[in-house]
Structure 1
Amino acid sequence: MTEHDYQRMTARLDRFAAVPDDVLADAVARDGLWLRTFDKSDVPELTGDASPDRELAARLCAGCPVIDECLELDLRAAGPETVGVWGALPDTDRRALYPVWLRRRGGESR
C-alpha cells in the first residue's frame, strides 16, 4: 500500500472523529460479521507477509457493514500495538496506517 492509499483511508474515517468509542464498539459488536460468522478455531493465522495477509483480511471482512467503524475503533484503541484483523486490514497495514491517521487527527491520540 502507498501513502496515497493510507491518506484516502484516513479521509474516509473522518466522519467518525466525533463518534464516542462506546458507540463505535456497540456498532461493531452488534453489526460486525466477524463476531457471528466465523468459528475462530477455523480461521487461518496471519503469516506476516503483506499480500497473503491482505487477502485473508479482505476475505474475512467481505460484506461486513461496519468495516470503517471497526478500523476506526482499532486505531483508537490499539494504535501501533494492533494485532489481528480489524477493518479488513491486517495488523501490518494498520501499523503503517496509524501515524497517517494520527497526523490527520492533529496528533492527538484517543
Structure 2
Amino acid sequence: MNRDEYEEIADKLDRYATVPSDVLTEIVTRDGLCFWAYDRTEVPELSGEDTPDRELAARMCAGCPVIDECLELELRSAGADTVGVWGALSDSDRRAVHRIWRIRRARQAGGEQR
C-alpha cells in the first residue's frame, strides 16, 4: 500500500469521528464477522501473491459489514501500538493509517498535529 491509499482509508473513517467509542464497540461486537466468531479450526490458506499479514487480514475480514467501524475503534484504542488483524488491515498498514488518521483528527478538533 502507498500513502495515497492510507489517506483514502483515513478519509473514509472521518465519518466516525463523532461516534462514541462505546457505540462503535457495540456495533463491532454485535455485527463483526471476526475470525474467532466462526467455527473455523484452520487459518485460511495463503496464495503467496501478497505479504502474508496483509493477505491474511483481507481474508479474515472478507465480507464483514463493520470493517470501517472496527478499524476506527482499533485506531482509537491501540493507536500506534496496534497488533493483530483489525479492520481488514495488517498491523503495519494500521500503523501507517494511524499516523495520517491522528493528524486528520487533530485538524478536525482544531488542535496541534503531533
- TM-score surpassing 0.5? yes
Shift of 1:11: 0.5
Structure 1 unpaired stretches of 5+ = 45-49
Shift of 1:106: 1.3
Q: What is the match of residue 9 of structure 1?
A: 9
| DSSP 3-state at the match of 2:52 | helix
Q: What is the match of residue 47 of structure 2?
A: none
Shift of 1:38: 4.8
Distance 1:8 1:53 in 2: 20
Alignment root-mean-square deviation, CA? 1.8
- Name the CA shift for 1:58/1:20 in 2 (closer, same or farther; >3 Å): same
- Larger Rg over CA atoms: 2
AA in 2 matched with 1:64? C
The number of residues matched between the two structures is 102
Q: Say whether 1:63 aligns with 2:42.
A: no
Q: Say whether 1:22 aligns with 2:13.
A: no
Structure 2 length-normalised TM: 0.82
Shift of 1:43: 3.5
Shift of 1:42: 3.4
Shift of 1:96: 1.2
Distance 1:38 1:56 in 2: 17
More helix by share: 1
Q: What is the match of residue 97 of structure 2?
A: 97
| DSSP 3-state at the match of 1:86 | coil
Distance 2:43 2:51 in 1: 17
Q: Which runs of 4+ in 1 moved over 4 A?
A: none
Structure 1 length-normalised TM: 0.85
Distance 1:97 1:74 in 2: 11
